[in-house]
Amino acid sequence: MSTLSEFQLLSVLATEMNMRKAAERLFVSQPALSQRLQTIEKEWGTKLFIRSQKGLTLTPAGELVIEFANEVLGKEEKVKEAIHGLDLEVYGTLKIAVASIVGQNWLPKVLKKYMNRYPHAKIALITGWSSEISKALYEDQAHIGIIRGTPEWKGVKMHLFEDSLYLVDKVITSPEQVLKTDRPFIQFKSDSNYFQEIQDWWYRNFQTSPKRTLVVDQIETCKQMALNGIGFAILPAITLNQMDKDIFKIPLLDEAGMPLKRDTWLMGYESSFKLKQVQAFVEIIKEFINES
């Protein structure tokens, strides 16, 4: 099988139909060109050109080979154009592992902006608890992870935002009232880091356990039960919006009287941040945060 350089040689010969002119275009001597042509013809097992004093004439076999060579060269040019386009456009799959609460409430707007700008890019999304996000990164299931809390991570780590925690209820208007009410404290299953943060706040303020608790598996279920007056819950601001007007939102305070907040981080291995789709996503996130 001829190489691309041999196809280029044949194409020039077929265009010039003259050994001298073809040799000048290819920057080789005429004897060297003649020798290469003989080698190519031997490889194909047939004469491709008839030589005469007037120049070159294609044989029927030569016409077929030249047609094939030009097709290959044309495809080569298209591939080069596509590769060049890869440098200008964002292609490939962006694999994200994200804490469920962020995936439900914050990420969709960012992804919409990303996909509108880079329509050729694809998204692969994993959601779960923050501890599961770290595992997905360790096992190379994702390029980047978005995690809640204060993760220990030796790779690239970028702070995205922080949001306050609120005691949310249809009836209770101050934290002290939780000791007097028989309404259940609705909790949602979460990773140990978040659970411990809430426990620490509770015992620091009340030195006793809640009278009644109701545990649900999803934070959205917890929110909807609180919004419907079944009991009170502690929810991060990321889950609350302006639509939730008919409910009291009491900020949780730390020992210094400052709002208790939850951090959200973007993290991954340094090699992942060299990928064009990851770099583009990070730029979109920065734009989104600045706009917000």
Check pLDDT > 90 for residue 225.
Answer: yes
6 vs 2, residue with greater confidence: 6
Check pLDDT > 50 for residue 184.
Answer: yes
**Orientation of helix 4-16 relative to helix 30-44, angle to 10°:** 110
Check pLDDT > 70 for residue 10.
Answer: yes
How confident is residue 189, by pLDDT bands cut at 50, 70 and 90? confident
Range of the domain at 282: 93-161+263-291
Torsion angles phi and psi, residue 153, rounded to 5: -150, 130
For the chain, what is the mean pLDDT? 89
pTM above 0.75, yes or no: no
Could you give the C-alpha distances from 60 to 4, 9, 171, 227, 279, in angstroms and in order? Answer: 21, 18, 92, 82, 53
Percentage with pLDDT > 90 across the chain: 61
CATH of residue 279's domain is 3.40.190.10
CATH of residue 201's domain is 3.40.190.290
Residue 242 pLDDT: 64
Q: Is the dihedral of CA 131, 137, 138, 141 positive or negative?
A: positive
Check pLDDT > 60 for residue 2.
Answer: no
Residue 63 pLDDT: 95
CB atoms within 10 A of CB 68: 13
Q: What is the number of structural domains in the chain? A: 3
Same structural domain, 10 and 126: no
Same structural domain, 24 and 78: yes
Same structural domain, 156 and 275: yes
Same structural domain, 84 and 113: no
Tokens of 174: 């101050």
Segment 229-272, tens digit of pLDDT: 999 999 999 988 765 678 899 999 988 889 999 999 999 999 89
Torsion angles phi and psi, residue 18, rounded to 5: -155, 125
Top-ranked range on mean pLDDT: pick from 109-118, 170-179, 241-250: 109-118
Last residue of a domain, one of 42, 60, 88: 88
Q: Tell me which residue of 258, 267, 259, 222 sits closest to 240, measured CA to CA.
A: 222
Mean pLDDT computed over 53-82? 88
Torsion angles phi and psi, residue 59, rounded to 5: -80, 165
Same structural domain, 179 and 254: yes
**Orientation of helix 19-26 relative to helix 30-44, angle to 10°:** 100
For residues 109 and 155, give the distance between their C-alpha atoms in angstroms, rounded to a whole number.
26
Same structural domain, 255 and 172: yes
Same structural domain, 223 and 247: yes
Is the Cβ–Cβ distance between 169 and 232 less than 8 Å?
yes
The set of residues, in sequence order, having a beta carbon less than 8 Å from that of 176 and lying 6+ positions away, is: none
Residue 113 pLDDT: 95
Tokens of 152: 């220990």
Same structural domain, 245 and 283: no
Mean pLDDT computed over 171-179? 90
Mean pLDDT computed over 279-286? 95
Mean pLDDT computed over 110-134? 91
For residues 272 and 15, give the distance between their C-alpha atoms in angstroms, rounded to a whole number.
47
SS (H, E, C) the chain: CCCHHHHHHHHHHHHHCCHHHHHHHHCCCHHHHHHHHHHHHHHHCCCCEEEECCEEEECHHHHHHHHHHHHHHHHHHHHHHHHHHHHHCCCCEEEEEEEHHHHHHCHHHHHHHHHHHCCCCEEEEEEECHHHHHHHHHCCCCCEEEEECCCCCCCEEEEEEEEEEEEEECCCCCHHHHHCCCCCEEEECCCHHHHHHHHHHHHHHHCCCCCCEEEECCHHHHHHHHHCCCCEEEEEHHHCCCCCCCCEEEECECCCCCECEEEEEEEECCCHHHCHHHHHHHHHHHHHHHHC
Mean pLDDT computed over 199-228? 90
Residue 1 pLDDT: 42
Check pLDDT > 50 for residue 146.
Answer: yes
Last residue of a domain, one of 88, 108, 127: 88
Check pLDDT > 50 for residue 292.
Answer: yes
